[in-house]
Amino acid sequence: MAMQGFGLWGLLMLAGSLGLLVFGMKLMSASLQQVAGPRMRRGVDALTEGRSRGVFTGLALTAVMQYSSVVAVMVVSFVNSGILSLRRAIPVLIGANIGTTLKLLLFAAIGFSAWQLSSVALPLLALALPLLLARSPRLKTASNLLVGMALLFLAIGLVRDHVPPPSAATMGFLHTLQDLGPVSALLFVAIGALLAITVQSSSVALVLTLALCGAGTINFSSGAALVLGENIGTTFTAIIAAQAGNAWAKRAARAHLLVKLIGVAGALVLFKPLLEGIAALTQWINGADPRTDASVLKWALAYLHFAFNVLNGLILLQCVPWLERIVTRWVPAHNAPDAQHRLTYMEDPMMALTPELSLLEAENEAVNQAKRCERMVGMVRKLLLTADPEAQAALHKRIAKYARISERVELELSRFLAQAGIGATGEATGRRLETMRSVAHSLERTAASLLLMARTLEHRTAEGLWFDPVQRRDLLSLFDLLEQAARIAVRNLEEPGTCDLGEAERTDQALRQHGRSARTGPEPQPDAGTRALRSSPVLSALLGTGEEVGGHLLNISRVLAAAQ
């Protein structure tokens, strides 16, 4: 697929276009982080709340912009900025895939027509100019956002312009690749992916595919395989743009690729039935068989593109958490598991540090830490129920490790927020920064208290003490309440602005009432044995420390409620 006239100069132009694409994504992400106040976050949340709404948002954006690659890069930028979560981004990307099929159906009906990307970019730059000259820092940030969006449009157009598509004549060799059995389909999928990467437009790639079919170079089956490959190639732009982003941006781009790869793999497994179904549909709607009548090939390939993206999207929409887990393992933070990390969300040294960005990342990090504390409660509970010495030693090691991580995160998070506070303006931003400092401290104290409970249980084992059934029941009830308190803290952190303080206070009250009841309960009978009698102080210590854990978790909800 070598193209005439593409030498060193063409390579430099292509490299410059890709550089402009990456810079545009970075500028847009940084600007989004600076202007992303509560209103913008609520707007994004409203547009992506629920999978069906996310799909509709992606579909509508692609219908308006006409380029799914632009929408994909914008989604990656939102994920990179922390405004959009990976789980909510995946349905938007699926919707963008469906949206681009509508344009191809329109193309089959009235011919190829799409906006020139420069006709979108230049008006955006015109809007940015007066904002850039304004004195208000917020208006200047808004101008940077518009410039970043304009650069994305320009860069994608330049990438396509500086790698002109090969002509149908130069691809005549494809005729010789059609008689290789099952290997032919794989080859044409790969060629289709390269073709879409080259032209950066599924519409342009489909035009060339139709030209090849119309000239008799390839048949309907080979054209269908090219279309499947072109679906993979359109993810290339977002993958390139994400290289300058953080791990979450890379995961969003890989999720887009993964959706396409899974769909193409399924389509190849059912390739013959799929083609027969498309041929029958074309025969029914257009009155001709695409395998024998070239005049309806454009419809058949458009139907294939539509069916592939819609069916694949509907199926994978039910598997969003599974897709999220795969890409999270595919792109680990700092090349290490999350439990062995420094700060997961604060890893992009190229990104300008702004108070809003710091708050978004701190909130994400606090959720991560709260979930870690919730897991620690489960570990200490398991330690109470475990009799095997090796299993107990492993649990002690994990709990101590989590406590060290918590201490380190609190230190780094406090330092990070202090640095961000230097550039903070406005009383509201200052209050939010102070809230996150308090939350980080409470989470660190929670982890430290849970470690103390684990050491108390370790002391019980070393002394050969044990709990009678009543004592064990009291402790299990204690851990039930602690797990409930931890879940409430996590939920309040995950949904800022909707903190349920009443539920948190009721749980803490129940926890303290349970402690008083357990302490004033009947003492073990003398026939229970000396060791059971001696375990009563251990029980009292565990109850007291458990109440401290509940108090730290309640403090998280209190400071969040006060900041609303």
Share of the chain above pLDDT 70, in %: 74
Higher pLDDT, 336 or 157: 157
- Taking residues 207-228, what's their average pLDDT? 79
Q: Give the gyration radius of the chain's Cα atoms.
A: 29
pLDDT in tens, 53-64: 989 988 887 776
pLDDT at 260: 94
- Taking residues 85-109, what's their average pLDDT? 81
Lowest pLDDT segment from 94-98, 419-423, 524-528: 524-528
Q: How far apart are CA 78 and CA 101, in angstroms?
A: 23
pLDDT at 19: 73
Q: How far apart are CA 456 and CA 548, in angstroms?
A: 14
- Taking residues 152-171, what's their average pLDDT? 62
Examine the pLDDT at 531 and tell me if it is beyond 60. Answer: no
- Taking residues 288-295, what's their average pLDDT? 83
Which pLDDT band, with edges at 50, 70 and 90, does 256 fall under?
Answer: very high
- Taking residues 104-124, what's their average pLDDT? 63
Which pLDDT band, with edges at 50, 70 and 90, does 207 fall under?
Answer: low
Examine the pLDDT at 3 and tell me if it is beyond 50. Answer: no
Q: What angle do CA 394, 398, 401 make, to 5 degrees?
A: 140
pLDDT at 139: 77
Helix residue ranges per DSSP H, 338-496: 355-385, 389-421, 427-462, 469-494
Examine the pLDDT at 410 and tell me if it is beyond 70. Answer: yes
Examine the pLDDT at 48 and tell me if it is beyond 80. Answer: yes
Which pLDDT band, with edges at 50, 70 and 90, does 342 fall under?
Answer: very low
Higher pLDDT, 178 or 130: 130
Examine the pLDDT at 38 and tell me if it is beyond 80. Answer: no
Which pLDDT band, with edges at 50, 70 and 90, does 50 fall under?
Answer: confident
φ, ψ dihedrals at 327, nearest 5° = -70, -25
CB contact set of 343 (below 8 Å; sequence gap of 6+): 361, 365, 409, 412, 413, 416
DSSP characters over 110-166 = H------HHHHHHHHHHHHHHHHT-S-HHHHHHHHHHHHHHHHHHHHHHHHHTSPPP
Q: How far apart are CA 33 and CA 356, in angstroms?
A: 6
pLDDT at 445: 92
- Taking residues 326-343, what's their average pLDDT? 60
Higher pLDDT, 174 or 150: 150
Number of other residues whose CB lies within 10 A of the CB of residue 307: 16
Q: How far apart are CA 184 and CA 221, in angstroms?
A: 10
* SS3 of residue 14 by DSSP: helix
Q: How far apart are CA 1 and CA 194, in angstroms?
A: 9
pLDDT at 112: 47
pLDDT at 294: 76
Examine the pLDDT at 186 and tell me if it is beyond 80. Answer: yes
Examine the pLDDT at 420 and tell me if it is beyond 80. Answer: no
Q: Which of 327-331, 518-522, 551-555 has the highest mean pLDDT?
A: 551-555
pLDDT at 247: 81
Q: Which of 215-224, 361-370, 553-562 has the highest mean pLDDT?
A: 553-562
CA nearest to 173, candidates 212, 224, 214: 212
pTM: 0.58
pLDDT at 79: 83
Examine the pLDDT at 430 and tell me if it is beyond 80. Answer: no
End-to-end Cα, the chain, rounded Å = 59
Which pLDDT band, with edges at 50, 70 and 90, does 273 fall under?
Answer: very high
What sign results for the dihedral spanned by CA atoms 460, 463, 469, 471? Answer: negative
pLDDT at 168: 52
Tokens representing 500 are 């349920």
pLDDT in tens, 437-487: 888 889 989 999 999 999 888 877 777 777 778 888 888 999 999 999 999
Tokens representing 305 are 């593109």
pLDDT in tens, 497-516: 677 788 889 999 999 998 88
Which pLDDT band, with edges at 50, 70 and 90, does 22 fall under?
Answer: low
> Which contacts qualify for 282-291: CB closer than 8 Å, 24 or more apart?
290/220, 291/219, 291/220
CB contact set of 126 (below 8 Å; sequence gap of 6+): none
Average pLDDT, the chain: 77
CB contact set of 122 (below 8 Å; sequence gap of 6+): 150
pLDDT in tens, 232-246: 988 887 888 788 777
Lowest pLDDT segment from 281-290, 300-309, 336-345: 336-345
Examine the pLDDT at 345 and tell me if it is beyond 50. Answer: no
Q: How far apart are CA 165 and CA 125, in angstroms?
A: 29
CA nearest to 301, candidates 213, 215, 178: 213
φ, ψ dihedrals at 171, nearest 5° = -105, 25
Tokens representing 264 are 């193409």
Q: How far apart are CA 165 and CA 226, in angstroms?
A: 14
Higher pLDDT, 297 or 216: 297
Burial class (CB in 10 A: 0-12, 13-18, 19+), 269: exposed
- Cα dihedral angle (82, 84, 86, 89), rounded to 10 degrees? -150
- Helices 247-269, 297-316: inter-axial angle, 10-degree rounding: 120
Q: How far apart are CA 27 and CA 21, in angstroms?
A: 10
DSSP characters over 306-374 = HHHHHHHHHHHGGGHHHHHHHHHHHS-GGGS-GGG-S-TT---TTS---HHHHHHHHHHHHHHHHHHHH
CB contact set of 457 (below 8 Å; sequence gap of 6+): 380, 383, 384, 542
Examine the pLDDT at 316 and tell me if it is beyond 90. Answer: yes
pLDDT at 141: 73
CB 360 within 8 A of CB 82: yes
| Domains in the chain: boundaries | 10-332, 355-563
> For domain 355-563, is the CATH number 1.20.58.220?
yes
pLDDT at 333: 63
- Taking residues 101-115, what's their average pLDDT? 60
pLDDT at 21: 67
Entry field: residues in the chain: 564
Q: How far apart are CA 199 and CA 210, in angstroms?
A: 15
Q: How far apart are CA 549 and CA 560, in angstroms?
A: 17
φ, ψ dihedrals at 309, nearest 5° = -70, -35
